[in-house]
Amino acid sequence: LSEGEFGRAVALYRALPRRVRRHRLQDLVRRHLDALLDAGRAAEAAAACPDLLGKAATLWEYWIFAFDKKGCLNALADVLPINKPRLAATVYDAVLDRLLATDPVAFLRTVKRWGDPGADEPLYALSTILKRV
């Protein structure tokens, strides 16, 4: 870890979880993603999220706002889960709102990927988004 190889540390922890006692997996994941974002490697960090965050909705929500804070939410939009886990509708609304303001191309791509908001359980509130468009 002293050399900043957090990705390798995560892989090692996953391979030998009982042998790593000084660190928690969640802390290693946080340090790895933070290091990638700080290095301007948002696409690489986003690509790692489905594997690293899995089905943990609270972790996804944390990282959505972390990517947004760094100005690279558009990199994460393509890999955001739309089921398993299913995030709160307000989170999807916030993502679309930010993309609309910062990256209209990513906004359109994301709306298409997320599908029809008129479904039985829509991911986002169409009325909220239409007010902003």
Which alpha helices (H) appear in 16-118, and where do they start and end?
Answer: 25-38, 42-53, 57-69, 73-77, 89-102, 104-114
Higher pLDDT, 111 or 127: 111
- Banded model confidence at residue 127, pLDDT cuts 50, 70, 90: confident
Other beta carbons within 10 angstroms of residue 95's beta carbon come to 26
Query: What is residue 122's predicted lDDT score, i.e. its pLDDT?
Result: 76
Q: Is the pLDDT of residue 44 over 80?
A: yes
Q: Which of 96, 74, 89 is nearest to 124 (CA)?
A: 89
Percentage with pLDDT > 70 across the chain: 77
At residue 79's C-alpha, the angle toward residues 17 and 9, to 5°, is 25
58 to 12, 49, 85, 88, 111: CA distances (angstroms): 24, 13, 9, 10, 22
Query: What is residue 33's predicted lDDT score, i.e. its pLDDT?
Result: 92
For the record, the structure tokens of 62 come out as: 């944390």
CA 19 and chain centroid, separation: 29
Query: The pTM is what?
Result: 0.77
The Cα–Cα gap between 107 and 112 comes to: 9
- Banded model confidence at residue 42, pLDDT cuts 50, 70, 90: very high
- Banded model confidence at residue 29, pLDDT cuts 50, 70, 90: confident
Higher pLDDT, 119 or 64: 64
